[in-house]
Amino acid sequence: MHLQSIQTKIHEIRGQKVMLDFDLAKLYKVENRALKQAVKRNIDRFPNDFVFVLSDNEVSEMVSQIVIPSKSYFGGALPFAFTEQGVSMLSSVLRSKKAIQVNIAVMRAFVIMRHYALSHKDLTEKLKEMENRYNRQFKDVYEALKYLMDEKNEKENWENRRRIGYR
C-alpha cells in the first residue's frame, strides 16, 4: 500500500484532517455499507471528535473540488468523515488482518502529513521574517533615492526659477 495514494485521500474538513468512509471502505476492502454499519453498532467508540457526518454544503463543496464525482455517488446517504483517532478506532471494530495493515499505513500517512504541515509552517514563518527584513532594507534604499531625487528637483527648481530684476 503506497503512502502517497493514502495521502491523496486525506482531506481537510472543519479544520481537521479526515478520511471519508468510501475511501476507507476501498482501502479495507469492505463495502461502504458494512463499514457504516460497524460504526453504528459501536457508536460508543466513535465520539464526535472521531467521526462526523458531512453536511449537504460540505458534500457540495467536495463535488466542486472534484474530490467526489457527484452527490448521487453516495446513494442518498451523507458520508462519514473519520479523524485520525476515528481511523485508528476502525481497526478495532473491523478486526481483520487487512484492517490492521491498512490502519498502520493510514497512521503513517497521517504522521507524514503532520510533519509536512509543521515544516511548512516553519518555512512560512521564515519567509515572512525575510520579507519583513528585506522590506525594511528596501524602504531605507527607497527613502535615500527619494531624498536624492527631491534634492535634484530642488536644485532644478532653483535654477529654473522666475528671476526678478536685471537680466
Model confidence over 26-58: pLDDT tens digits? 888 888 888 999 999 999 999 999 999 999 888
pLDDT at 1: 55
CA dist 78 and 58 (Å) reads 10
What are the grid coordinates assigned to 52, written together?
462526523
Q: What is the pLDDT of residues 113-160, one digit of tens each?
A: 777 777 777 777 777 787 777 777 777 777 777 777 777 777 777 777
Q: Decide: helix, strand or coil at residue 51.
A: strand
- Amino acid identity of residue 102, one-letter, is V
CA dist 18 and 10 (Å) reads 6
- Amino acid identity of residue 126, one-letter, is K
pLDDT at 48: 92
Supply the Cα-derived Rg of the chain in whole angstroms. Answer: 30
Burial of 27 (0-12, 13-18, 19+ CB in 10 A): buried
CA dist 3 and 108 (Å) reads 7
**In terms of CATH architecture, what is 3-121?**
Roll (3.10)
Residue 83, H or E segment? none
CB 79 within 8 A of CB 52: no
